[in-house]
């Protein structure tokens, strides 16, 4: 079983004006595709070849850095496309909203913390909403790393590599993050991952 690049779940221009066709063409067709292609080359002949992407990510962490980087980014991007939708954002579904209030304080505090995590991730990486020990928390990781290798399950993540925002926002990473939270988040998919995580 090799890694496969999925089609985007929407048209390339469906997330405009918050994320352009050009960004999605480069990000999906070039960057994500490169993780898939390189990941498959690195997987070939290893004992991880027939494992799930989650198993490959966890097993290669700290052991096979090149494979981990590509498999981690494949996992992250598989979900990243699903974590967005046209006319996204807005309020979280009731069950998640209640859990956010309980564990983080309020929905506004979650948005503030999530954006802040993305802004303060030095260099490339990701900001996350995770389930860890039964609680929701906001975290961040560098490069291709993700919460799976830290004993947590991501239910929402945002790519803060420059390839995700530089065409549309130039250096304004905070504006990109605000647009992601307010206008792009696919809360139905977050709810689905939350259901699987608990």
Give the shortest CB-31-to-Fe ion separation in angstroms.
Answer: 5
Work out whether 145 is an interface residue with Fe ion (CB under 5 A).
no
Give the shortest CB-165-to-Fe ion separation in angstroms.
Answer: 10
Contact in structure between 35 and 73 (CB atoms under 8 Å): yes
Give the shortest CB-106-to-Fe ion separation in angstroms.
Answer: 29
Q: Which is nearer to Fe ion, 139 or 164 (CB)?
A: 164
Angle in degrees, 0-180, between the axes of helices 187-197 and 94-103, rounded to the nearest 10: 70
Piece of the chain touching Fe ion by CB under 5 A; list 84-92, 125-133, 147-155, 159-167: 159-167
Piece of the chain touching Fe ion by CB under 5 A; list 35-43, 90-98, 107-115, 152-160: 152-160
Q: In 10 A of CB 57, how many CB atoms?
A: 25
Binding mask 23-42 for Fe ion (x = CB under 5 A): --------------------
Selected binder of Fe ion within 159, 168, 184, 187 (CB under 5 A): 159
Angstrom CA distances, 68 to 12, 43, 142, stand at 28, 10, 13
Sign of CA dihedral 91, 118, 179, 35: negative
Closest listed residue to residue 80, CA positions, set 9, 17, 130, 30: 9
In the complex, the residues that contact Fe ion under the rule CB under 5 A are: 159, 161
């Amino acid at each position: 079983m090799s890694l496969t690049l999925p089609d985007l779940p929407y048209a390339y221009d469906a997330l405009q004006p918050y994320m352009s066709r050009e960004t999605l063409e480069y990000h999906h067709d070039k960057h994500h595709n490169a993780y898939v292609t390189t990941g498959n080359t690195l997987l070939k002949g290893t004992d991880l070849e027939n494992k799930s992407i989650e198993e490959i990510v966890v097993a290669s962490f700290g052991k096979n850095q090149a494979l981990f980087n590509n498999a981690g980014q494949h996992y992250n991007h598989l979900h990243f496309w699903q974590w967005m939708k046209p006319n996204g954002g807005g309020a979280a579904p009731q069950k998640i909203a209640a859990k956010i209030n309980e564990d983080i304080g309020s929905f506004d505090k979650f948005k503030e913390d999530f954006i802040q995590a993305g802004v303060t991730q030095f260099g490339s990486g990701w900001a996350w909403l995770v389930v860890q020990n039964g609680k929701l928390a906001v975290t961040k990781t560098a490069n291709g790393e993700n919460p799976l290798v830290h004993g947590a399950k991501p239910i929402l993540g945002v790519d803060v590599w420059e390839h995700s925002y530089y065409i549309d926002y130039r250096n304004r990473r905070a504006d990109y993050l605000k647009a992601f939270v307010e206008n792009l988040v696919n809360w139905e998919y977050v709810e689905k991952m939350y259901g699987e995580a608990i």
